[in-house]
Amino acid sequence: NAGVTQTPKFQVLKTGQSMTLQCAQDMNHNSMYWYRQDPGMGLRLIYYSASEGTTDKGEVPNGYNVSRLNKREFSLRLESAAPSQTSVYFCASSERWLSNQPQHFGDGTRLSIL
């Protein structure tokens, strides 16, 4: 019953450092998503992968890159971290790229950039 697993759960970086957030789902879902959550702003979509082999920009893609490694895994990379990227990051997946599909979320990665 793992669902969506994110690693790490917490991370502190210095400005300019790089890191990759990992996400894996075991539900055989086709679509995967990365969001950031900031106080009072809900969740904002960074990037998504509608199906294996495709990735597209969401609402706030600047400063991020993604890789859909295979059907299970979708990683988010910060090449040069900035304090504005301090946030909680959530990965999600859905069975298909359709408007009626609910998304299943991981527990998040809490990232602080000093």
Partner 1 sequence: GDSVTQMEGPVTLSEEAFLTINCTYTATGYPSLFWYVQYPGEGLQLLLKATKADDKGSNKGFEATYRKETTSFHLEKGSVQVSDSAVYFCARSNTGKLIFGQGTTLQVKP
What is the distance, to the nearest Å, from the Cα of residue 34 to the centroid of all Cα atoms in its chain?
A: 3
Question: Segment contacting partner 1 (CB under 8 A): 12-20, 61-69, 77-85, 86-94?
Answer: 86-94
Work out which of 14, 28, 62, 102 binds partner 1, going by CB under 8 A: 102
- Whole-number minimum distance, CB 15 to partner 1, in Å? 26
Residue 67 in contact with partner 1, rule: CB under 8 A: no
79 sits in the region (left: phi over 0; alpha: psi -120 to 50; else beta) called alpha
Please confirm whether the linkage preceding 8 is cis (ω < 30° from 0). yes
Question: Segment contacting partner 1 (CB under 8 A): 15-23, 40-48, 69-77, 79-87?
Answer: 40-48
Lookup: tokens for 27: 């539900």
Q: Which is nearer to partner 1, 12 or 41 (CB)?
A: 41
Residue 75 in contact with partner 1, rule: CB under 8 A: no
Distances 25 to 35, 41, 85, 92, 96 between C-alpha atoms, Å = 15, 26, 24, 8, 14
Contact residues: partner 1, CB under 8 A: 4, 31, 33, 40-45, 48, 50, 58, 90, 92, 94, 96-108
